[in-house]
Structure 1
Amino acid sequence: MLEGTAPEGTAPEGTEVAPAGEASRAPVIEARGITKTFRVKKNKAGKDRLHALDGVDLTLERGETLGLVGESGCGKSTLARVLLMLDRPDGGTLRFDGTDPFGLAGKELLAWRRRVQMVFQDPFASLNPRMTAAEIIAEPWRTHRDLLPSRRDRQARVRELLDLVGLRAGDAGRYPQEFSGGQRQRIGIARALALDPEVIVCDEPVSALDLSVQAQVLNLLNELQRELGVSYVFISHDLSVVRHVADRVAVMYLGRIVESGTAEEVFGTPRHPYTAALLSAVPELGRPGDRERGERILLEGEVPSPLDPPSGCRFRTRCWQARDTCAQTVPEGPDGDDPAHQAACHFPLEPAVAGQSS
């Protein structure tokens, strides 16, 4: 069960929001050993528990962007739902400024929900077509009524948020179907900013947009971070997008984080074979030597089912580095001399051979 208790009365010392441009390096979110399973229809082996998350450790610092990458079905969105308190994990601990949000209730829980918001993947499905842009942006204030009780204040704040995301004040009365995809996503971002959050979870926020529009939205997110000091958990399967926006990167495979580090470290010198395989599939992101050799790591076999994951290292059934130890023991990080660049692998790749398969 989750550990921790609700705070008493006032927030604990040190939970103030850091001013924009002066973000403290103290973690705003710490997750340790998060597990989550779902009961599903039994498979042929009689297994009915889908292991979506299994011992996930995650840290998000103030004012940074953490990129979360991996194949579809690896658990990225489930982890996002846990961070947003939409799903309760089966085990592990989650701390927000040192407080367990799952221990909150009533007004304290309502106040906490202001601090973590979300930008959704599909800008066409995430906006109510019967509501104007102003009504969509103002909708969070219907729940958090104490923030802007005056109608005049709400209207003024809507205009400020529209300007902040690069839209015009005259757009307030238009409906979603009157906007382009990129403009709709800007409205979604404005809605997420309405409650002045400290953390925004972005779940594939540009995957439904054209490439040129993607760049505009990504640049907008970067500008907002510099101006407001907000932290992002940026979920994507597009490595080029993650490399553009992320300060740190966590790579997920079958419910576990297999490598984490700065974007420069993970993209430049991947330590886990799975990370190297992902990067090799995107030639423009590889190191110059890899592009010249034109090498590509082709993984053999199918992705194992989360209903019956492999013992030991979950990647071992597709890994060219696998040995007997990999089937017997779950690998632990960190590895090597850099504790900030971790790879959960018994036989991590060396920089000189990362990206090469045998």
Structure 2
Amino acid sequence: MSEPLLQVRDLRKSFRVPGNKNRLCALDGITLDLNRGETLGLVGESGCGKSTLARTLMMLERPDSGTVRFDGIDPYTLRGKELLKFRRRVQMVFQDPYASLNSRMSAAEIIAEPWRSHKGMYANRKDRDMRVRGLLDLVGLGAKAADKYPQEFSGGQRQRIGIARALALDPDVIICDEPVSALDLSVQAQVLNLLNDLQAQLGIAYIFISHDLSVVRHVADRVSVMYLGRIIENGPTEAVFDRPNHPYTAALMSAAPKLDSALRQERILLSGEVPSPLNPPSGCRFRTRCWKATEMCATTAPPHAVDPDIDGHAAECHHPLLSEGMLATA
């Protein structure tokens, strides 16, 4: 099996908070892989660190420690032209299709804007115009949309322009930060299908950040569940959804709507509030809301509990829900 395109190991990032002696711990030992041409779903409550992780992988934030390898390269060692060349390979589609597009620029100008920084790409005006129209065709808008402005498009059409802009630099990875949350359900399906078609056609890998579990289940090959700066469960999508090992994951999945009544389960209601990342609990960070917590959970960080039946499925828990036959590793 080939090496993952992106490898993140023990990534940590904290921030100073004015008037507080403690640092806000946004990422606390994040480890994940992203393979070529796959979609990794990233889920969790607001404030768990998903967007900080996205900004760090985009090199908009520098980690405190840990390693990132992209196609075998540490991007944080790059400078000058090599860094600019690397930035082409990771792009982003933003949550708000209204705020992320400049209303004073036409669709063609928005899509072509990245080439102003990467001057060697489509320097010839004729080539540039042809590429813009090709990208508009690729995202289903057509070349006639080139001269229109954002306010002349619907929300779904604006997001298609944002996707075309992300594709303009021929990236290997696109980070999708809640890309359909601002859209109507019918439009969401169209945009998700477009992303799937583009992945099949171009071989792009996605990191797909979302609160909507039904969307993640539809698009993701694997899922990582975040809680207070840590990935507490990860694995193939069907395994994480159908046989969650971590109590927090089980609570999330119980809240997800299901059309098939046979698949519905009793809602797991969590007690208490999410702890502050300025002062996270000792031991297991979820223990203050967990119905399975014991004294050990307060004193000792949980190990990885590996599912022996499903490759790549693991959870950070002293008392995994599928405890029989689970293998604990450090």
TM-score bracket, normalised by the shorter chain, equals: over 0.9
Aligned to 1:318: 289
Aligned to 1:302: 273
CA distance in 1, matches of 2:303, 2:88: 35
Provide the aligned length of Structure 1 versus Structure 2: 323
Gapped runs of 5+ residues in structure 1? 1-23, 353-358
CA–CA distance in structure 2, aligned partners of residues 219 and 203 of structure 1? 16
Preserved contact between residue 33 and residue 57 of structure 1 (Cα < 8 Å) = yes
2:311 is the alignment partner of 1:332: no
**What does residue 319 of structure 2 align with?**
347
The 1-side partners of 2:304 and 2:323 are apart by 17
Aligned to 2:7: 30
- 1:323-345 CA distance string (max 9 Å, x none): 11111111122424145001000
Please give the root-mean-square deviation of Cα atoms over the aligned residues, in Å: 1.5
The CA distance in 1 between the partners of 2:15 and 2:305, in whole Å, is 29
Letter of the structure 2 residue corresponding to residue 301 of structure 1: G
Distance 1:287 1:254 in 2: 32
SS at match of 2:122: coil
User: Residue 227 of structure 1 corresponds to which residue in structure 2?
Assistant: 201
Contact 2:29–2:66 (CA under 8 A) maintained in structure 1: yes
Structure 1 residue identity aligned to 2:300: T
1:356 match: none
Deviation at 1:69, TM superposition (A): 0.2
Deviations, residues 108-139 of structure 1 (Å, cap 9, x unaligned): 00100000000000000000000000000000
Matched residue, 2:71: 97
Please give the alpha-carbon distance, in whole angstroms, between the structure 2 residues aligned to 1:51 and 1:253: 12
- Give percent identity, aligned residues only: 70
Counterparts of residues 55-74 of structure 1 (less than 5 Å): 55-74=29-48
Structure 1 stretches of 4+ with a deviation exceeding 6 A read none
Distance 1:288 1:37 in 2: 44
Distance 2:284 2:8 in 1: 21
Q: Hey, what does 2:328 align to over in structure 1?
A: none
Residues 206-221 of structure 1 aligned to structure 2 (within 5 Å): 206-221=180-195
* Residues in 2 aligned to 1:186 and 1:199: alpha-carbon distance in whole angstroms: 17
TM-score by length of 1: 0.88
Cα drift, residue 143 of structure 1: 0.6
Q: Per the alignment, in what secondary structure is the counterpart of residue 283 of structure 1?
A: coil
SS at 1:260 equivalent: strand
Unaligned runs of 5+ in 2: 325-330
The residue type paired with residue 276 of structure 1 is A
Under a length normalisation based on structure 2, what TM-score does the superposition of the two structures give? 0.95
Partner amino acid for 1:38? F
Q: Is the 8 A contact 2:196 2:219 kept in 1?
A: yes
Alpha-carbon distance between aligned partners in 2 of 1:285 and 1:225, rounded to the nearest angstrom: 27
**Cα offset, 1:282, TM superposition:** 1.5
CA distance in 1 between counterparts of 2:142 and 2:272 reads 51
- Alpha-carbon contact 2:305-2:320 (below 8 Å) kept: no
Tell me the distance in 2 between the aligned counterparts of 1:99 and 1:334.
Answer: 30
SS, match of residue 153 in structure 1: helix
Q: Is it true that 1:77 corresponds to 2:71 in the alignment?
A: no
Cα deviation code 1:54-90 (max 9, x no counterpart): 0000100000000000000000000001111110000
* Pairs within 5 Å for 1:4-43: 25-43=2-20
Could you tell me how far 1:26 is from its partner in structure 2? 2.6
1:284 counterpart (236, 248, 258): 258
Change (3 A) 1:287 1:275: farther
Are the equivalent residues in 2 in contact too, given 1:270–1:351 (CA < 8 A)?
no
CA contact (8 A) 1:279 1:286 kept: no
d(CA) in 2 for partners of 1:192, 1:178: 20
Paired amino acid for 2:312: A
User: In 1, distance between residues paired with 2:118 and 2:283?
Assistant: 46
Residue 286 of structure 1, CA deviation:
8.7
In structure 1, the residue corresponding to 2:304 is in which secondary structure? coil
